[in-house]
Chains A and B, each alone.
Chain A
Amino acid sequence: MSKGSFWRAAGLNYLEYSNLAARYLRRALKEAPQAKALKREEHNLRVSLYENGKATPAKFLKNTQQ
């Protein structure tokens, strides 16, 4: 690991660097591979809270990036 990384100096770690680099890279792909690659960024979440021992109706959170 190079000691003088500008991103490390700004408080980012390698995982954040890697994640961002991947996001930038996907946006330079040609159309067909890009459509496929962008799907990998999506993180969908189904949240259902339990109240008094019963599940509340599930909430679907689409594409939660952070």
Chain B
Amino acid sequence: MFSILRQGLARAARLPVAHARSYADAAPAAGDKVRLTFSTPDGSFFNAKAITQVNVPATSGDFGILVNHVPTIACLRPGVVTVVEDGKESKFFVSSGTVTVNNDSSVQIVAEEAAPLDQFDAAAAKSGLDQATQRAASAGNDADRAKAEIGVEVYRALVTALA
């Protein structure tokens, strides 16, 4: 039994190595649409829906995803996710989470908290920004200051998005 296994391994070793997709290869056929799944722990906004483009805010910088985007994984930061389908745009604000772009042009966005942009209150965002800024300035240690500054980051992005 082991000799069969050994023969099989030897044969496998002689076979040419099947390379993963590299930059020079054509992407597998995925149609001309991105398939987007966008969800939070509470539910999903899109479930494998064919869309044209989605723009995401990542800790490494914002980027747009069109069909045949190179496979990527990134962490989300507070900001606006814009989904373009049939020329119509819908905007959501996300707190944080992950975005995964796969080889077959499917995209998964998983956000810890997210809501359509029109569900946010601009006045609450402004007062939140003021309070968080104040708490960051009066924080007694690094951890408390960082916690307040996360609020500053969230509310600043939200105020900008709602302006």
**Interface on A for B, CB 8 Å cutoff?**
1-2, 5-7, 9-12, 14, 17-22, 24-31, 33, 37, 40
**Chain A interface SS verdict (over half):** helix
Cα separation A44 to B121 with both chains bound (whole Å): 28
- Interface code B128-163, partner A: CB below 8 Å = 1, 0 otherwise? 100010000000001101110111011100100000
**Distance from B147 Cβ to chain A, minimum over Cβ atoms (Å):** 6
A21 engages B143 (CB within 8 Å): no
Known: A12-B143, A24-B128, A24-B132. 5 other contacts (CB 8 A): A2-B59, A10-B142, A21-B153, A24-B155, A37-B42
Q: Indicate if B120 sits at the interface (CB-CB under 8 A).
A: yes
Closest A residue, CB atoms, query B143:
A10
- Can you list 7 residue pairs at the A/B interface with Cβ under 8 Å? A1-B75, A2-B60, A25-B93, A25-B154, A28-B125, A29-B115, A40-B42
